[in-house]
Each structure stands twice: as structure tokens, then as C-alpha cells.
Structure 1
Amino acid sequence: MRPRWPRFGPGPGLHPVGRLRRDRSGVAAVEFALMSPIFLLLMVGLIDLGFAYHAKLRVNAAISAASYYAFQKGQALSVATAQAYTANVAGVASSLLANVSDDLSVGVVINDDPTGAKTSTTFCVSGYPAVFTAAGAASTSCGGNLTSGKFVSIRVSGHITPIFLSADLFGGSLAVADAALVRVQ
């Protein structure tokens, strides 16, 4: 018969240090303590990027709604109505951008002229970024099955501040911008 060793004493050839080296009962807690900060940082980063993507989608929706409004209401566009028209188009976009960011700005330009003085002139547009070439008061051929017309440029730009992450990671904020060029006549 084998002698039984005491329960609390070291076994044959096992010292207390050797027993601690072989004990695996706290490994999961140590691994969790090491990995949880990395996991939390990744989750917070994904949440911030999700909010930024949501803001980008809201900007796209605002541009789309303002473009639709500009197309619908731009048929009777004239020099006399240009200022009110641009304010209304900008208002449509701004109303959809409420609570996204205080830094977003909406710009509406008719025929590449911020003053609206060229509203009665038609233009041929080509290239990217758009190059406007005056074509006169009546619609004419621009070549390649294109005709001149009146165009409204709608632009939304600004910055979104991250919610959780340090602003230093993104240089202070994330830039958000979108634009559309709508032929209204």
C-alpha cells in the first residue's frame, strides 16, 4: 500500500512554486484582463465610425431631397426669384440636417454664379469638376447630344466630432461633404 501524503503539504517532488506554475485556475481571468481594453477600444471605434456613416447617409439624403425640390421648383426660375429659390433649396437640405452637426453648411448656386445674376442665361456643362460655358438665353446644342440649360449646384460640407474617441485620433473631427448638380431647365 502507498503512503498518502498530507493534503496541504507538498506532494512527492512538488514544491509550492511548482504547484503554482501548474495551477491553471486563474488563466481566464488574466486573459480577460489583458484583452478587454483592446476589445473595448475596438467596439468604441466601431460605434464612432457607425455614427459618422449615419451622418454621411443623412447628408446624402439631404442632398437628394434638395435636388428633387430644386428640380421640381426650378422650371420658372428667373433673376427675380433666384434669391428666394436658393434660400428654399438650402432650407430643404438644412431641415434634414438638424441634429447631425452644428458645423454643416449648405450652399446653393445657380449657373455657377453665387449672386444669381446669370439665372436667365443657359450654360453647357462639361467635365469634373464642372466647367460652365455660357450658351445664351435660349437652349442650344452643346455637342454630343447635349443641350444647354440652367443648373443648380447644391453642396453640403462640414465636420462631425467623434462621440467617444479622442479627437486627436481624427485630427479633431471627421470631414463630411457631398454635392449635386441639377439641371432645372
Structure 2
Amino acid sequence: MRFPAFARYVPAARDRRGTALIEFAITAPVVALFLAGAADYGLAEWSRTCLSNAISQAGYYAFRQGTTVSTANITSVIQNAYPLTASPPDPLSAAVSAVTVSYPPGGSTGVACYCPSGTPATLGATVSCTSTCPDGTSPGSYIQIKATYTLKGNFRLATSLSLNGDQISDTVVVRLK
């Protein structure tokens, strides 16, 4: 909108130079905050994928080792497979914050056997390791592995408060024998 009467008395009002610079100065910080927040959410999703991969590798390791697998070795596999635990530490975080290895209900030492059923499969109650499951298969010993990672955003101003400090976790249940 032009104001010809005003522009007639104030010569600077006719000058259009610098308008783009002022618009850029106003919009650039907003765009930068938006992009920084998007980068943090992308890194959070990447962390979730890496944690899932580490849990999968630990499950495969437990499967290969069978009933002789140890909690310390599983924890080591997860921490070595998770790329954010490298030295020097990645700025996102120093390490996977918690790894829990447990045996399903009723089996504190891993010798309890189960007959999984349903979709998705549930373990149900313990059964004798020498018995036969209702579907004709042999019961097996299972282990549950869970790892948790605490997110630490790089751009605290751009990221919502719910992302910074959130924990992502993944769990896998593996048949040992």
C-alpha cells in the first residue's frame, strides 16, 4: 500500500531498498528454529532405529549362545552395536542408559520352559521341558532383553521439552533352546 501524500513530504518513505533484508532478518530465525527442531526429531528417530538394531543383534547373540549366554555378554553386545557409545562419545549421549536381561515370569534362571501360543505369541505359564506343547512342538527356554536410551537434543530451544530427556526402549524375547 502506498501513501502518496506521506511520501511527498518524507523522501525516505519512497525508498524501497533494504526491504528484503528486513524481511530476511525477521524470518531467518524462525526458519532456523524450525530446521533445528526437525533435525533433532530426525536424530531421535535414527537413535530409535540404532537401538532396535542393537537389540536385534543381542537377540541373535543370545540365540546362538543358547542357555549358556550371560547378562554381561548381552549388555556388551548391545553397547558395542549401538553407534552412540563410540569413543569419544557422540554429542547426543554417552551410552545406552540401561540394559535389562530377564527371564520371563516363572523362570529366574532361564531353565523354565514355555509353549508360546497366539498371534502375537505369548509365553503363558511354565511347562515341563520334557513335555509336548498343545500344537505338537517342543517347549523352549526364553530370555527377554530390554535396552533403554535417554534422548538428549542438540537444539534445546528448537526441540519441544518432551523430546529432551525422553527415553526410547526396545524389547526382544528370544528362544534359547
TM-score (norm 2): 0.76
> SS of 1:15's equivalent?
helix
1:54 matched to 2:57? The reply is no
2:146 is aligned, of 151, 155, 177, to 155
Supply the RMSD in Å over aligned alpha carbons: 2.8
Q: How far off is 1:132 after superposition?
A: 3.1
> 5+ residue gaps in structure 2?
1-5
User: What is the CA deviation profile of residues 112-167 of structure 1, one whole-angstrom value per residue up to 9, with x for unaligned ones?
Assistant: 45741xx3331123466944311102252243x66421111111113111112147
Give 2:22's aligned residue: 30
> 5+ residue gaps in structure 1?
1-12
Instruction: Note the 1:114-129 alignment, pairs <5 A.
Output: 115-116=108-109, 119-126=110-117
Matched pairs, number:
162
Does the CA contact (< 8 Å) of 2:7 and 2:13 recur in 1? no
- Structure 1 or 2: larger strand share? 1
Does the CA contact (< 8 Å) of 1:48 and 1:162 recur in 2? yes
2:36 is aligned, of 44, 65, 69, to 44
The 1:110/1:64 distance shift into structure 2, 3 A limit, reads same
Runs of 4+ in 1 over 6 A off after TM superposition: none
Give 1:73's aligned residue: 65
1:86 matched to 2:71? The reply is yes
> SS of 2:116's equivalent?
strand
2:103 is aligned, of 93, 97, 110, to 110
**How far apart in 2 are the matches of 1:114 and 1:130?**
15
The 1:49/1:65 distance shift into structure 2, 3 A limit, reads same
Identity within the alignment, %: 27
**How far apart in 2 are the matches of 1:106 and 1:151?**
17
The 1:133/1:16 distance shift into structure 2, 3 A limit, reads same
